[in-house]
Amino acid sequence: MNRYKKTRWLVVLGAVLVQICLGSIYTWSLFNQPLIDKFGWDQSAIVLTFSITVAMFAFSTIFAGKLQNKIGPKKVAILGGLLLGIGLILSSKATSLIELYIYFGVIGGTGVGTAYVAPLTTCIKWFPDKRGFITGIAVSSFGLGSLIFKSLVLDLILTKGVSQTFLYLGVINLILIVLGAQTLSTPPTDYETTGVTEGVESNSKDSTSTQMISTKQFYLLWIVYFFGCISGLLIIGLAQDIGIDLVKLTPRTAASAITVIALFNAGGRLAWGVVSDKIGRKTSLLIIYLTTSIAMAIMSTITMNTVIFFVSVSMIALSFGGLVTVVPAITADYYGVKNIASNYGVVFQAFGIAAIAGPIIATNFGLNNSFLIAAALSIFSMIITIFIKPPFALSR
């Protein structure tokens, strides 16, 4: 493994660049008002664009994973970068909501999902000894993308207008993702890939997606991932509204919750990756769900002031960041690294469906009741996690 040290860190460098660019889609909220001002479209109709994007993001990971097994991560990441770039460039020409849905939502979202799996799963293959840590680096880079692109997007909207901003973002993302993809390669056949982190349960069999979905552990893992993502995405998507409606903060102060969440989300992805390597994935998930349930219970039962609000959303963001880090790692632990791209693509559908379920729950039950539901789901996830065990023979 020693002679490949430089190679595997070059892979990480390219993966980080790709993930940061993909994370730029989480700046979408910055486009809402400028699009309203320019076209006079209804806000809820504009927001639907992002929902379509997330849904296509999650759905396309299934096919991207299967494609990666055939043509390799480099070509898949390049394809994703081209789709995202083209989708954004076409969005600059959109003059109707349908066009925006197709260009940004369908084409752009498919591009994100296509490219997302490649850097993440390739890094896991190169670092069998530090799966949690390296997964944390990959997914935290995605989380930081919105922060890194935030100032650029705001400046472009102010100086170039909202439509031209799509054009510039498309060109930037296309070039940088294709550049980052050049380092993505699978380990050679003589590379040691059987090592696992001490204390982490792992199986000794590489499973296909068909074999994976035939095990009960897959369904248990999918359910707890789905429930956990509901809690995290609910807060991420409604943080500003919660601050204004329930805490009575000014719009400016409430908006700062978005930055706080982004920082704790990214920090949680990296920190929990390291921690899960040390104390194990299951123990990490139990702590993550316990923290989430406590924070959600606080938000639903206590009259929040500014401090309680920011502490609570920080706890949830930190835990959510950990969840999206630990689950890819535990998928590799349980079902091997050979088919991790296609396997995690199937598991990741829980994320996409949760992105739709969260807003539906909030709309039908109200914010306070939604928090209680999320707390209950987190507690239920803790109970399920206790019974999740590797499906095949263990290796250490």
Average pLDDT for residues 214-224, to the nearest whole number?
95
What confidence category does residue 202 fall into, taking pLDDT thresholds of 50, 70 and 90? low
Residue 4 has pLDDT above 80, yes or no: no
**Cα dihedral 123, 124, 127, 128 in deg (nearest 10):** -170
Domains of the chain, each with CATH number or no CATH = 2-181 (1.20.1250.20), 203-390 (1.20.1250.20)
pLDDT tens track for 238-248? 777 788 888 88
Residue 16 has pLDDT above 90, yes or no: yes
Which residues partner with 203 through β-bridges?
Answer: 394
What confidence category does residue 395 fall into, taking pLDDT thresholds of 50, 70 and 90? very low
The whole-number pLDDT of residue 197 equals 53
303 φ, ψ to 5°?
-70, 110
Per 3-state DSSP, what percentage of the chain is helix, strand, and coil (rounded to 5)? 80, 0, 15
Distance of CA 145 to the CA centre of its chain: 11
Residue type, 110: T
Cα–Cα dist 273/120, whole Å: 13
The whole-number pLDDT of residue 125 equals 86
The whole-number pLDDT of residue 308 equals 92
DSSP letter string, 108-122: IHHHHHHHHHHHHHH
pLDDT tens track for 50-85? 888 988 998 999 899 889 989 999 999 999 999 999
Share of the chain above pLDDT 90, in %: 52
Which range (29-38, 219-228, 321-330) has the least confidence?
Answer: 29-38
Which of the residue ranges 175-179, 209-213, 342-346 has the most confident prediction, judged by mean pLDDT? 175-179
